[in-house]
Structure 1
């Protein structure tokens, strides 16, 4: 279909707002998100939320965006809460629905926005569990580094612990994105925002060693499977989780996220500042980076002991 025909169809749909179906509206919204060059994970999150919302509407015999009212959204939220969805999960649904209806309003498809009065749920402040030094050493001792997969997984865990990368970033950067002389890796984070993440000399040596096994002349995604294809998210998640069980690590769920948090904790406790941590980890504001500094009570106790005025006076 040529663009002129598509444009005519769009204008006709705007002229007949009452006839616009949920599925047609969702298709247009998802296409608009793809045109913004959002990551596939972000787009998939929108699709998942809108699919659940559409199922809820169909159960209540609602088929058009114009028929959705504030109370429908509130009932959907209550239904998800009854199903046991956590506050962060429901807030993700709310963000997706708000983006969807903002798009329909700004594009002229609807005039009433049922999301205007919807507020996010209050989330409990979570304590981020991190690995101790002994746990990190025990975890790193598990992979069989004499095998290509074991060596790859060892280096992958070193990468997360040394840089604090998100899992998707670690899985998607390419060989040519590693700038060896400057010791930085170029990644595309949330919202396709490019940033440079520094890495240590020790990690650099391990990355080069992995490339020798992988084939340094190869291009493309840095971490690959035995067939030379990009390493899958589920594969590395399951293998790191298995390593945690083999290492008998208790009190913390061993995952790619916990390795990222462990990096943040050690970065802060080694004396760095939240602004540089924010830049390295790809946060848009200081809020999340500040949370890292506030969530380690045991370490704060050590800091208090070190800098306490009373301790210094009486000692």
Structure 2
């Protein structure tokens, strides 16, 4: 009899959890069964690319709480990097000024990427455990008003720049391994923060260039996953999510004209979106478990994602619903 009560309580617990599920099933189970989410990042060196606030800021704060050994923070704005650094130093009292490297650079200037990677690796003594790619600018433009120059600039920020950095990191690691450099950072994990539009291939309105760039970003790193799937040296974690960027990002969204012309208006935040804090927690969890791909959003969006990615399953569900009417 007691077993029935226990099973009933467990069932109610699981139903309540499913009702508030904010990620795909694999990550949901890890979140449910992982009491110590900081274990993997303890004493690790992490490089976060795209620190303009929001998710990146929360990721850095979580890593400070998780007692990571060192952080490298990169973005185009030194002011935002300095703010995040001070915030992290307040959280982790064991860190000092030399525990966090501020490495600002422009993702669109690919000629500087080799030097940037070399600087980061030298500072970390060739021992970077995790690189988190979270750079991006959104877009607000009518499809037929978009000029090629805006497409190209949007691709540089949202896909090509981050991909090129990853290529330089892999080349650096291969060169270091070939000459017998000690303490090279293999295995290394790339955590790629993409958009749900890049996973589903169903872009939201007025963001054609952005959505196409995120599809490209996802495809680039899926290719890397495939090529290094058996060597074990590089793990790629792709996180698809849907969160409004910080205010400064939304007001500087690309339009369809020249890339120098920006949107300039605040975008209304949808109340159903997850918070940056929760997103960052799930992103780091996915990275620690080396989940090849995860989706981070409310339950309804997860259902649509499943329907988009598994059409036969979606057709079966719809057919069953129609038959039961």
**Greater strand proportion:** 2
Larger helix percent: 1
TM-score normalised to the size of structure 1? 0.24
